[in-house]
Amino acid sequence: MCNSCLLRHLLWVATVAIMPLVAGCLANPEANDLNTDPPEAYRKAKSPIVVAYLHIGNRILDSRSIDLEGVDFVNFAFTVIKNNRMGLLHPTDAQNFHVARSLKHKYPDLKVLVSVGGQGTEKVFSTMTKTDDARKVFAEDAVRFVRAYGLDGIDVDWEFPGMKKATRAADRTNFTALLATLRAYFDEASRKDGKKYYVTVASGAFEQYLNYIEPLKVTPLVDYFFLMTYDFHGQWNEFNGHHTNIYMPAGKPYGHSVERIVNTYISKGIPKSKIVIGAAFYGRKWTGVELKQGSVVYNPGKGVGSVSYRNIVSLLKNGNGYRRYWDRQAYAPFIYNQSQKIFISYDDIESVARKVDFACINNLGGIMYWEHFSDANGNELAKAIVDEMSLRKGCHARIRLPGGMFAKKSEK
């Protein structure tokens, strides 16, 4: 063997030897030269969890092209309420919900839930929950629906109980009654079917939400609160700002943050283990934002809606004056185009990893993200979440190679 070949061989051996240490736990389980049967101490923990929301819409799902490696729960969004029963939104929904079985075959530990409701459905929820008979009809049909498609439970996405002054008092108690009915029907189904059925809620990340519901009565009825810790700022504000920051920004002691709303939930008696914080795979955009006193955050601007993470990556890649910045106080990124005066607040690889750290350090239930199909570059945000969670749990993690690639079984 020539000296240069010998040197390359020794470097390769050294690299293989240190990979597990670099990863902070066991290395990539797909690698040919590593033991893929970890000891019990390294087996995947049940908590904290990673939750993906799939906004299906008009697309046709194919389980072969959906990468949910490392995801514990996936929520199919959405179904609606029709005549107090579960209703489908699109002609392809029935076909798509049948994909749940193939996904569960592909990922045996995956739990698949159906999200009912969504933005703009508060009136139908308010009407359906008015009577005990209507709630029972809905709960019975929800069990039927979940069984028919081989799902694992229901995610109630009522945005939001009590937001209308005329229905505030009634919604508060009826929301509790709805969840109590669902819990009773799904618990009975669990006893008959011999499997666990989940009841979760997509919950508001603002203090008033907890005044519009009965936290202490609701908590025993649900498995998780999927806390929507995004949209802290948007086009409804006269100024721009971080829309999914972890901590309070400097100079904004009364602003929104993941930390603040989590502490509020805990103060209302909600266990940490049931709180799952949210990451946003989209940004909020403002135009007409000027640089003032060395800052472009919390300045006047016109909010113009949301931008998918995929499109944000394209803006940064193509240049055209966009630069990425990191707010060290808020633990939040943003991009700014000074010539066009465009500001976009969003989550990126760094911030979603820090959200995983926040969830784990504070013993929360986990992290969820909205929404899977808005990701970019081979699901880089989802993979960042899964990898950071794997490191936190001390279990298998993929080894990142230069250029953001991952070690694969076929690579030499």
Active site residues: 159
Residue 123, strand partner residues: none
- Give the position of tokens 């107090």: 84
DSSP assignments along 336-379, one per residue: EETTTTEEEE---HHHHHHHHHHHHHTT-SEEEEE-GGG--TTT
CA angle 142, 143, 147 (to 5 degrees): 115
In angstroms, rounded to a whole number, what is the distance separating the alpha carbons of residues 365 and 371? Answer: 19
Contacts of 361 (CB under 8 A, 6+ apart): none
Q: What is the DSSP letter of 398?
A: P
CA atoms within 13 A on the CB side of 365: 23
The alpha-helical segments, DSSP class H, found in 129-257 are: 132-149, 168-193, 207-212, 215-218
Query: Order of strands, edge to edge, in the sheet holding 332-337?
Result: 302-308, 282-287, 342-345, 332-337, 322-327
